[in-house]
Structure 1
Amino acid sequence: MAPVPRTKRSSDSHSHIPDEAERSYSFYYLYDSTSSDQHPPLPKAPNEHYVNYTDPWQDVAYAFSWAQEHHFEEMMRKNMETVEWVLRQQQRFVVDQVSYALEDMCRGFEMDLDTESWLKQAWEASARRERRSARREAETAKLLQREAEKRKKDREEKHRKTKTMVKAWKVYEERWARITSNAEEPLSFAAVPWPMVRKPTDATEITKDNIREFLLSHHHSEDVSSKDRIRAALKLWHPDKFKRTLDRVEEKEKARVEETAGVVARCLNGLMEELRKSR
């Protein structure tokens, strides 16, 4: 069988593509039509011309294909390295983000604890200030209340003393007016109008201060000077003047009345002397 002539390939082709004749010789099988139960025979060897023939572009195509495959494998290896690096970076990023988040949470928790502690301390300090302020206000209120009560008591005491003084002076004048107008009435120690707010029981209770308090009080005789008040009292209590009053005192009390009246006269003389020295 004569060899099949090869078809000319275009000069711009970079790969060897077998033509139809080569494909038929390469994959052609012969069957024996007379024996159907026999195994199909092995394919016949292609024409020797095609076995020994070497296409000059075939090596170039194989080399180019190998280079492309090697380049692709290198690209794939580098891409895989890049992908692995990216994955590692992503994992590190995730781990770092989780770590940062945990650190932030811890810091936030610490800040929350510090803030809570600070707020608690501030609240306690404010509560202490409020308690101190409340105590000061309570103490001030108590002090003001005590002062108000004291002023009230002082006013009441002053009013009581004024009332007592006015009443005592009125009784004093009325008693002396009655004694001087009625010479027959007997007198006792208690009936004598002593120049004091409270009636004495004996001569020891007669003092210059007690007589001054009663005789020179500003709650009575406002239009009479101190000198005139003392002078008027001496006219009643001088021993020569008081002798007529003493004669009307009961005998059993006469000595006590005379002694006490002498003390009154001496106190009046002392007050007059003080008044003279003060001028």
Structure 2
Amino acid sequence: MDNITSCTSLFDYLHNTSNPSWAGKTKAWLEDQGKVRSKTSTQETLEWLWRQYFKEVDASEARHKEKEKEAERKWWEATARNVDKQAKQWMAQAETQRQAALREMEKTRQIQEEVRRVKEKADAREAEWRRAREEEKIMSDHEGRYQKRRKRENAAKKLSDAWSRYERQWQELNTTSGQGLTFRTIPWPQINTPSSPLSISAANISFFLLSPIHSGGKSKRERIREAMQRWHNDKFEPRVLPRVIERDRAAVKEGVDIVVRCLNHLLSQESA
């Protein structure tokens, strides 16, 4: 009776519940077989019903797990899409930063290149300036040496001409008896004709008489002695001084005294 009641209760349950499709099929099957009223088959029917029920439960759990798996799969897919989206955003940001860094590096490189070009131009200008300065210095040195050489040559020629004039004038004094001599027509032993006795100096006389430009075969002492023979008062005053005009005679006498003193000083130095 308990089995029949259980079977009948399950049958009623199937009539009064909105169960899955297997429940309706089971109910129809029970009605067709008339097993609800059969005592001998009640246990078998109940067992079969429970087996169907547990199959459905298992199937329901399986469907639930499948739904959970599907939900989990969708969650993972959504998560993966979000992660992929975030990763793409990060990659885009990283690429933007990389491009910005590359632009900055390129800008720095261009600046460094410009600085290098400017420095090279400055170095080239400085090198050119140095070359120009060196060439100018070389030219200046050459010009300076040339000018010095010209000055030496001119000085040597001037002294040589002055010595030739000095010798010629003394020869004329010794071979003629002309009158009207002046202070400036006296052949003083200097390159430039003095304008007064104050212009006669030992330095000028020494430079003129002892120069290597002339009298190469004579020593300094011989040159000084020859000059003393011309300028000594005992010889100059009797032969030359009377031929000087009265106005210049005193100046000539003073100049001769200065020359003699300078010659004596030079001779004493050579004898020392």
Q: Is residue 190–residue 204 contact of structure 2 (8 Å, CA) maintained in 1?
A: yes
C-alpha separation in 2, matches of 1:276 and 1:162: 28
**How many angstroms does 1:241 deviate by?**
0.9
Relative distance call for 1:74 and 1:123 in structure 2 (3 A) is same
Residues 1:156 and 1:256: Cα distance change in structure 2 (over 3 Å) = same
Q: 2:269 aligns with which of 259, 262, 274?
A: 274
CA drift at 1:200: 1.2
Name which of 140, 149, 159 aligns with 1:165: 159
**1:175 alignment counterpart:** 169
Q: Structure 1 residues 47, 70: CA separation in 2 closer, same or farther (over 3 Å shift)?
A: closer
- In 2, distance between residues paired with 1:275 and 1:47? 170
Cα displacement (A) at 1:95: 0.9
Indicate the percent of aligned positions where both proteins have the same amino acid.
Answer: 25
- Which residue in the other structure is 1:260 paired with? 255
Q: TM-score, normalised by structure 1?
A: 0.72
Greater fraction helix: 2
Q: 1:216: how far off? A: 0.6
> Secondary structure at 2:240's aligned position in 1?
helix
Name the residue aligned to 1:247.
242
Q: Secondary structure at the match of 2:94?
A: helix
Deviates more, 1:249-258 or 1:160-169: 249-258
Output the amino acid matched with 1:82.
W
Give the CA deviation at 1:248. 2.4
In the other structure, the counterpart of 2:60 is 66
Deviation at 1:128, TM superposition (A): 4.6
SS of 1:272 mapped into structure 2: helix
The 1:146–1:253 alpha-carbon spacing in structure 2 relative to 1, beyond 3 Å, is same
Spell out, residue by residue over 1:176-211, the C-alpha distance to the aligned partner (whole angstroms, 9 max, x if none).
122212235653333221111111121111111111
Distance between the aligned counterparts of 2:30 and 2:56, measured in 1?
Answer: 23
Report the CA distance shift for 1:215/1:47 in structure 2 as closer, same or farther (over 3 A): closer
How much does 1:229 deviate? 0.3
Answer whether contact 1:179 1:185 (CA < 8 A) is retained.
no
Q: CA RMSD in A?
A: 3.1
Alignment deviations for residues 198-231 of structure 1 (CA, whole Å, 9 cap, x no partner): 1112111111111111111111111110000000
Counterpart Cα distance in 1 of 2:103 and 2:34: 84
Letter of the 1:88 partner, please give it.
N
Stretches of structure 2 that go unaligned for 5 or more consecutive residues are 1-21, 37-44
Q: Tell me the CA shift for residue 247 of structure 1.
A: 2.4
Aligned residues: 237
1:70/1:274 CA distance change after superposition, 3 Å: same
